[in-house]
Chains A and B, each alone.
Chain A
Amino acid sequence: MKIIQKKVCLLGDFGVGKTSLVARFVTNAFPEKYLTTVGVKMDTKTVAINDELQAKLILWDIAGESALNTKTSSYLRGSAGLIFVADGTRENTLTSALQLKQEADNLLGAVPFVLLINKHDLIAEWDISETVVDELKQQGWQVFYSSAKTGENVEQALLLLAQNLVG
């Protein structure tokens, strides 16, 4: 069995649920209390791509910001893939995700990525129009409506990214 290590950074505005998504993905748990991330936290998760290949994802959970700065830019160095996260109940966080994508492209060039529009369990408070999401999909973006709370689409999104990283 061959294992390939890949660095994947999570980017998104504060409070969108990046740390919770990592917790759901790595330990299948959901932390009920919101605790702001400062700096960067690293975690690993190995996913099976096929019978002969596994991807060990080194997940860099970077403190939430609406734009990159010198400190957060340094974390991106050598990143093989990116996960952008927005909060479906806060429209402005999607704008932040788009901004971060632009800045990351300038730093890293084109790398595989997925966009998770998180907190899909809070559908009654949904604030992001489907038209915008459809436009992004038409531009080739891999967009998932996810919920770290229920686990909706978390594994699917990460698996798709892992496949794109090794494929």
Chain B
Amino acid sequence: MNKIPFDVRRYLYKQYNEKVIFSYILIDKIDSTLEWSDNVQMLYDLELTQDLPADEQLLFLQGIYPYQETQPFVLSEVVFSSNRAADIHIVPSKYKLCILLFDVTENMLFHQELQQQKNELKLLYEQQKRSMLALKDSYQEIQRQKKFAEHANQAKSEFLRHVTHDLKSPLTGILGFAQLLEFIKEPLPAEANDYIGEIKKSGNYLLSLINDLLDIAKIENSGMQINPELLTISSLIEESISILKPVANKNSIAFINRSNHNLPAIWIDPIRFRQILINFLSNAIKYNRNNGNIIINSYLTHTHSVRINIKDSGCGIHPENLHKIFQEFERGTAQDKEIEGSGIGLSVCKKLTELMSGSVGVYSELGIGSLFWLEIPVAEEQIVAIKPSNALQNILYISDNKVHIYLMNCLLEQRLGSSFLHAQDRQSVLDMINTHRISAILLDMDIFSLNALDIFKELKENEKAKICR
């Protein structure tokens, strides 16, 4: 220790306490000879010799030696090949360059352990951050795809709506006039009656298909409006049966109605509800066997819903197809090409029922038949009385479609015996209301020359129009 100049010893005293293992190497500034403490070799694996230049033996002197500064220079935590670490102070004095090594191995090991944990945590944080970003990217991509799919679906529905609307308009004319042909008093040749029958059959099938497609488009665009009324269903069931009875009779299929006539009222849109019943019943006829039967049963469930079961004695549905029978364009066992159908009727029924807060389902057994059911929750409030309807006298038809006007005129005057009144713009509508006692107004929603909804709103407010509501 005495070999170290006093001023350097003072520096040393200030820097570290006595417990630190201390080593030194001294380089003579004049002849470059080296002196070193005995522990240098043991601690740091340094084999020093007078034969080689200092910077070649001491790697940490690379780029530093020959040291020209007057102030000490410190290299902290230099780890040697012996795995011992030292703080190296290069301290210049008058004749010597003093290299002081303070062993900090214990500190270094502690620091390393701490840093290792810190770095591992940082790595973990970076990974989490990357995962979060990747998740965010995926989420945004999913949202983008979803939006794209929604737009595409909306465009499809819009297209469907336009096409079906354009198809429906001329079809109304075809079916209407076919019906009128049947009413001609003079007898027509037998072939002509057959042809009319075929026109009506094909036309009706096309119309039901178009209506289903329109419904799907409306439901998908959230444009389907239902008008719920508080009703009991027994009359609707009977009505639906009577509509389909001629078709059932043709195939010798019997309806067995076991409905409970004292069921509580439910909130339903009667037009849509009848549409569902007719769809279920039509299917029960279509997929039945000759001389088969259809059992209709309605009752109150323990969950306080009104349930209708429609059970046929047909061929049944294969279990593989059962779960997708309410999906669009799925026809179950009807792969049989002889049976007409597009595979969208049941899908429409399901969606309509859901719009009325209800549910639908099916049980089926191959060779035995199928049972379609629908359930609607019972309304909390119940019906007190039902209003009788008025007889229709003057019927005002608002439309600018010449074919439709002609058709309605024929139907209303010739078939119902009502007085047919017609208007096609706002002023003539008001004139008609002011000058006639109108029993009912029929408004063509597809009227081109004016906005049908505006007319509808105006009629709702008009005192004279209220009488025919």
Contact = CB atoms under 8 A, between A and B. Distances in A.
A58 B62 contact: yes
A39 B85 contact: yes
Contact of A38 (B108, B126, B130): B108
B116 interface: yes
Interface stretch (B6-14, B68-76, B352-360, B377-385): B68-76
Contact of B64 (A14, A38, A71, A78): A78
A14 B77 CA distance: 17
Interface in A46-88: 58, 60, 63-64, 71, 74-75, 77-80
Contact of A63 (B56, B59, B64, B115): B115
A42 B63 contact: no
Contact of A14 (B75, B76, B79, B119): B119
A102 interface: no
A80 B63 contact: yes
B123 interface: yes
Given A39-B78, A42-B60, A74 B126 contact: no
B291 interface: no
Interface in A1-58: 5, 7, 14-15, 35-42, 44, 58
Contacts of A90: 126
Contacts of B75: 40, 74-75
Chain B, interface size category, equals 20 to 34
B111 interface: yes
B64 A58 contact: no
Contacts of B126: 90, 92
Contacts of A79: 63
Contact of A39 (B62, B73, B76, B122): B76
Given A38-B77, A40-B79, A71-B76, A5 B116 contact: no
Given A36-B112, A74-B73, A7 B62 contact: yes
A127 interface: yes
Contacts of B85: 38-39
A40 B78 contact: yes
Contacts of B60: 42
- Indicate the member of B63, B108, B126 with the most A CB atoms within 10 Å: B63
A2 B433 CA distance: 117
Contacts of B59: 42, 44, 58
Interface residues of A, number: 27
Interface string B439-461: 00000000000000000000000
- Indicate the member of A36, A40, A44 with the most B CB atoms within 10 Å: A36
Interface in B116-158: 116, 119, 122-123, 126, 130
Interface string B378-402: 0000000000000000000000000
B117 to A, nearest CB: 9
A63 B111 CA distance: 12
Nearest to A8: B62
A39 B79 contact: yes
A64 B59 CA distance: 20
A110 B122 CA distance: 32
Nearest to A59: B59
Given A7-B63, A14-B119, A78-B62, A38 B78 contact: no
A75 B63 CA distance: 10
Contacts of A5: 55-56, 62
A2 to B, nearest CB: 14
B116 A35 contact: yes
B135 to A, nearest CB: 16
Contacts of A77: 63-64, 73
Nearest to B104: A39
Given A36-B115, A39-B76, A63-B115, A14 B122 contact: yes
A127 B74 CA distance: 38
A40 B63 CA distance: 15
Contacts of B77: 38-40, 63, 71
A118 B59 CA distance: 27
B43 to A, nearest CB: 15
Interface in B91-128: 108, 111-112, 115-116, 119, 122-123, 126
A75 B73 CA distance: 11
Contacts of A15: 119, 122-123
B181 to A, nearest CB: 74
15 contacts: A15-B122, A15-B123, A37-B79, A38-B79, A38-B85, A39-B76, A39-B78, A39-B108, A40-B79, A60-B62, A63-B77, A71-B76, A74-B74, A78-B64, A90-B126
Given A14-B122, A35-B116, A71-B77, 12 more contacts: A7-B62, A15-B123, A36-B119, A39-B108, A40-B78, A63-B115, A64-B119, A71-B76, A77-B63, A78-B62, A79-B63, A80-B63
The 5 closest A-B pairs by CB, nearest first: A78-B63, A39-B77, A7-B62, A36-B116, A7-B63
Interface of B: 55-56, 59-60, 62-64, 73-79, 85, 108, 111-112, 115-116, 119, 122-123, 126, 130
